[in-house]
């Protein structure tokens, strides 16, 4: 018999789900109280399982868990938000996969981080709403980088830390941000970035996530510019491309 003390509750978002044994599933959660945690949902693949519908990918759930010998076990699950549209629309779904994979790759197990949880639920809510999906992803990248210790340099030069002025026009992927003109001259791998893209990044770093709706009018080339500097910055941190990026690009090409 488990003692009562070994049961605990937390809210969480399901980042990843895989089969485990005959009828169970392993879930990778990002939880409000304990950060990323892998747990087991017993019997979740049986169609008669009462909990099965609640522990779908990307759902926001309130869970009760029991401490297990290796992995903890889900004993109850209630839906807080199913983010319904994420499951019904391929562009939204491909963005959700990308967000979930980024969180999974950039965080370690069992380290609580409420700001990352808050960012994740705000981002999924935005993807489930009317905000432009690509800009929500950019917002998420900028803020997640900040929360895992790689805040992009948008006010000071990434190399010499001097205050940037509006004549800055190069981005260093390795340095993680903008370069002043002097440092840019010495960095052959720096990427060009125009003032409007630089300003849009500023705006996204400073404002709440709803601000993505106000950037709807940004041109497609400008949005691609922002995307390419952030992707180039994430690549050395992740040490490889994400599987979900291929999915994201394939969905974009098809639409």
Binding site for Zn ion (CB under 5 A): 157, 159-160, 180, 183
Residues 157 and 109: their CA atoms lie apart, in Å, by: 33
Query: Closest CB to Zn ion among 35 and 175?
Result: 175
- Shortest Cβ distance from residue 243 to Zn ion (Å)? 35
Residue 171 beta carbon to Zn ion: minimum distance, rounded to whole angstroms: 12
Distance of CA 150 to the CA centre of its chain: 14
CB closer to Zn ion, 11 vs 187: 187
d(C-alpha 177, C-alpha 230), whole Å = 9
β partners of residue 11: 62
What is the token pair recorded at 64? 């009760």
Nearest CB to Zn ion, comparing residues 162 and 249: 162
How far CA 42 is from CA of 6, 165, 186, in Å, comes to: 17, 57, 57
Beta strand pairing status for 7-20 and 24-31?
antiparallel
Quote the least distance from Cβ 186 to Zn ion, whole Å. Answer: 9
Nearer to Zn ion, 137 or 168 (CB): 168
Query: Measured from the CB atom, is 160 or 195 closer to Zn ion?
Result: 160
Helix residue ranges, H only, 128-194: 133-147, 181-184
Among residues 126 and 164, whose Cβ is nearest to Zn ion?
164
Query: Could you report how far apart the first and last alpha carbons of the chain are, in Å?
Result: 54
Task: Give how far the C-alpha of residue 38 lies from the chain's centroid of Cα atoms, to the nearest Å.
Answer: 17
Q: How many beta carbons lie within 10 A of that of residue 20, not counting itself? A: 17
Distance in Å, CB of 33 to Zn ion, minimum: 41
Output the furthest CA–CA distance in the chain (Å, rounded). Answer: 68
CB of 216 to Zn ion, least distance (A): 33
User: How distant, in Å, are the alpha carbons of 72, 91, 204 from that of 134?
Assistant: 35, 10, 12
Shortest spacing between CB 159 and Zn ion, in angstroms: 5
Q: Which is nearer to Zn ion, 157 or 234 (CB)?
A: 157
Under 8 Å between Cβ of 31 and 11: yes
* Distance in Å, CB of 8 to Zn ion, minimum: 48
């Amino acid at each position: 018999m488990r003692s009562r003390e070994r049961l605990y509750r937390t809210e969480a978002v399901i980042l990843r789900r895989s089969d485990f044994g005959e009828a169970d599933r392993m879930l990778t959660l990002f939880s409000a109280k304990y950060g990323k945690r892998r747990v087991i949902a017993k019997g979740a693949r049986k169609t008669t399982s009462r909990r099965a519908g609640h522990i779908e990918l990307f759902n926001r759930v309130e869970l009760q868990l029991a401490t297990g010998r290796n992995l903890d076990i889900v004993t109850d699950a209630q839906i807080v938000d199913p983010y319904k549209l994420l499951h019904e629309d391929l562009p939204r779904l491909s963005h959700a996969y990308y967000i979930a994979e980024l969180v999974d790759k950039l965080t370690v197990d069992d380290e609580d981080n409420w700001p990352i949880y808050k960012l994740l639920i705000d981002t999924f809510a935005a993807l489930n709403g009317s905000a432009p999906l690509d800009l929500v992803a950019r917002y998420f990248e900028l803020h997640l980088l900040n929360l895992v210790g790689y805040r992009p340099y948008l006010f000071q030069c990434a190399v010499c830390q001097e205050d940037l002025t509006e004549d800055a026009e190069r981005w260093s992927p390795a340095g993680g941000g903008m370069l002043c003109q002097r440092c840019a001259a010495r960095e052959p791998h720096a990427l060009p970035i125009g003032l409007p893209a630089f300003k849009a990044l500023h705006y996204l770093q400073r404002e709440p996530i709803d601000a993505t709706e106000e950037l709807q009018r940004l041109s497609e080339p400008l949005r691609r510019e922002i995307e390419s500097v952030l992707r180039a910055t994430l690549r050395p941190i992740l040490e490889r491309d994400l599987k979900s990026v291929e999915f994201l690009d394939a969905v974009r090409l098809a639409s």
